[in-house]
């Protein structure tokens, strides 16, 4: 959809970024409690000989089965949420005014109420499929990932801002600048009205 590119543009403009995809990778590193819970729930065959999560093996098991996917989400989502909430608190304690949390399943995990603004990065289904295919995903893997999320039009309707990422990087960056300018102007106006 363009979340990573949006996050990079925001970071280049001085906004701190918390990436929950990275947190999701971190919480399943060898020695982490989540990895042990995954092994207990899904069996030792989802762990490689060197003690790492076999993502493809696990994905093949959970994406076609909503019950298994919910089981995995029950292991991962609370841990991921705790980590990004903790990072927000650390930034706030350090006086950081602008923090973006990149959450692919924001609405699905009912986390939207924790934020002042919601930006949805979106693209057409054709572009989304092309981008995922370029990552080496099969048509089945792409369909399963898309089916595991809310429809993008529903997410767009619930978001305050939408960045349409079908176009060039230049157009993408201009959308980021417009949104960031508006959010910063609102914050400045609010600070002046409160002083």
> In the prediction, which pLDDT does 60 show?
86
> In the prediction, which pLDDT does 78 show?
95
**pLDDT tens digits, residue range 34-54?**
999 999 999 999 999 999 999
User: Does position 176 have pLDDT exceeding 80, yes or no?
Assistant: yes
Locate 101 and state its tokens: 């949390």
**pLDDT tens digits, residue range 69-86?**
999 999 999 999 999 999
1 and 128 in contact (C-beta within 8 Å)?
Answer: yes
**pLDDT tens digits, residue range 104-113?**
889 988 999 9
DSSP secondary structure letter of residue 121: E
* Residues 111, 85: Cα–Cα separation, whole Å: 10
Looking up tokens 């792409």 gives 142
Q: Are strands 16-19 and 99-102 parallel, antiparallel or unpaired?
A: parallel
Percent of the chain with pLDDT over 90: 67
**pLDDT tens digits, residue range 117-146?**
999 999 888 888 888 888 888 888 788 777
User: Does position 191 have pLDDT exceeding 80, yes or no?
Assistant: no
**CA distance to 3, 78, 99, 108, 158, per residue, from 120 (Å):** 8, 22, 15, 13, 9
Alpha helices in the chain (DSSP H): 3-12, 20-26, 33-42, 55-62, 66-93, 125-134, 139-147, 152-158, 169-194
User: Does position 24 have pLDDT exceeding 90, yes or no?
Assistant: yes
- Domains with residue ranges and CATH for the chain: 3-194 (3.40.50.300)
Q: Find all residues with CB under 8 Å of 34, minimum gap 6, and list them.
A: 27, 28, 75, 76, 79
């Amino acid at each position: 959809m363009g979340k990573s590119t949006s996050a990079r543009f925001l970071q280049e403009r001085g906004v701190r970024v918390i990436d929950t995809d990275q947190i999701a990778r971190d919480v399943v590193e060898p020695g982490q409690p989540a990895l042990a819970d995954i092994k207990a729930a899904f069996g030792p065959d989802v762990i490689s000989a060197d003690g790492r999560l076999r993502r493809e093996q696990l994905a093949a098991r959970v994406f076609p089965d909503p019950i298994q996917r919910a089981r995995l989400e029950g292991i991962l989502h609370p841990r991921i949420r705790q980590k990004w909430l903790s990072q927000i608190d650390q930034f706030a304690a350090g006086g950081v005014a602008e923090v973006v949390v990149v959450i692919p399943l924001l609405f699905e995990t009912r986390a939207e109420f924790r934020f002042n603004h919601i930006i949805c990065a979106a693209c057409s289904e054709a572009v989304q499929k092309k981008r995922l295919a370029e990552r080496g995903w099969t048509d089945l893997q792409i369909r399963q990932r898309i089916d595991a999320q809310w429809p993008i039009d529903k997410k767009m309707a619930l978001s305050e801002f939408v960045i349409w990422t079908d176009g060039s990087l230049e157009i993408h960056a201009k959308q980021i600048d417009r949104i960031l300018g508006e959010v910063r102007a609102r914050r400045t106006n609010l600070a002046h009205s409160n002083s």
